Amino acid sequence: MKNLRQEFIAFSVEAGVLSFGEFITKAGRTSPYFFNAGLFNEGANLGRLAQFYAQTLLDSGVEFDMLFGPAYKGITLASATAVALAGMGRNVPFAYNRKEAKDHGEGGTIVGAKLAGKVVIIDDVISAGTSVRESVDLIRAAGATPGAVLIALDRMERSGKDDALTVNSAVQELSAQYQMPVICIASLADLFDYLSASKAEESGSKMGQYTAAVSAYRAKYGV
């Protein structure tokens, strides 16, 4: 499992999805790294990403009947993960939502399979957790059960701007609020291990130079 996590970090760096520098987060913090799943925008790397999602979900041992992708990024992620799972011998239905209800044709806000059983919500990262909360409401309204959330990267940092009053991350808060696991392919801890290994190897990799900045950010905002 740890090898899978390190492979995912390396893959994200190579694809340019995980980049380093100075970035402003939704919480208004200056982060030394940024993860943009929208840059998995080619068939080959999207297929590889889906393999990581599918394998992580299977390895988690979580019971599930179908997948749900919140609009918009989750739509591609859930559908691609369903394809990857089918290739691994686990054929499951998937669905996603529209931002606006359709008043013709099949109508409604849900597209794809009928929401039923235990549903895994597929997303990229969790910042404020808004899309997950909306997904939980949609799934419950349909009579199904939100069983877990599966994300690509857990930033493992305190939620909100008021660090003095916040001790949990958005991931921890969501997990506690809905009493369901939030599974990640990799986390900030895995990113730090990757950078530390790169610095130690000194094999032409420039990744190690970001270790100090990520470590300082982790110490200041991490959970």
User: Residues 2, 26, 99, 104: which is the catalytic one?
Assistant: 104
Neighbouring CB atoms inside 10 A of 20's CB total 18
Burial of 4 per CB tally in 10 Å (0-12, 13-18, 19+) = middle
Would you call 104 a catalytic residue per the annotation?
yes
Distance of alpha carbon 122 from the chain centroid: 7
Which phi and psi angles does 212 have, rounded to 5°? -65, -45
Assess whether 99 carries a catalytic annotation.
no
What sign results for the dihedral spanned by CA atoms 82, 186, 11, 29?
positive
Q: How far is CA 146 from CA 49, 53, 139, in A?
A: 23, 17, 6
| Site of tokens 């740890």 | 2
Considering the candidates 102, 114, 161, 220, report the single residue annotated as catalytic: 102
Active-site residue set:
102, 104
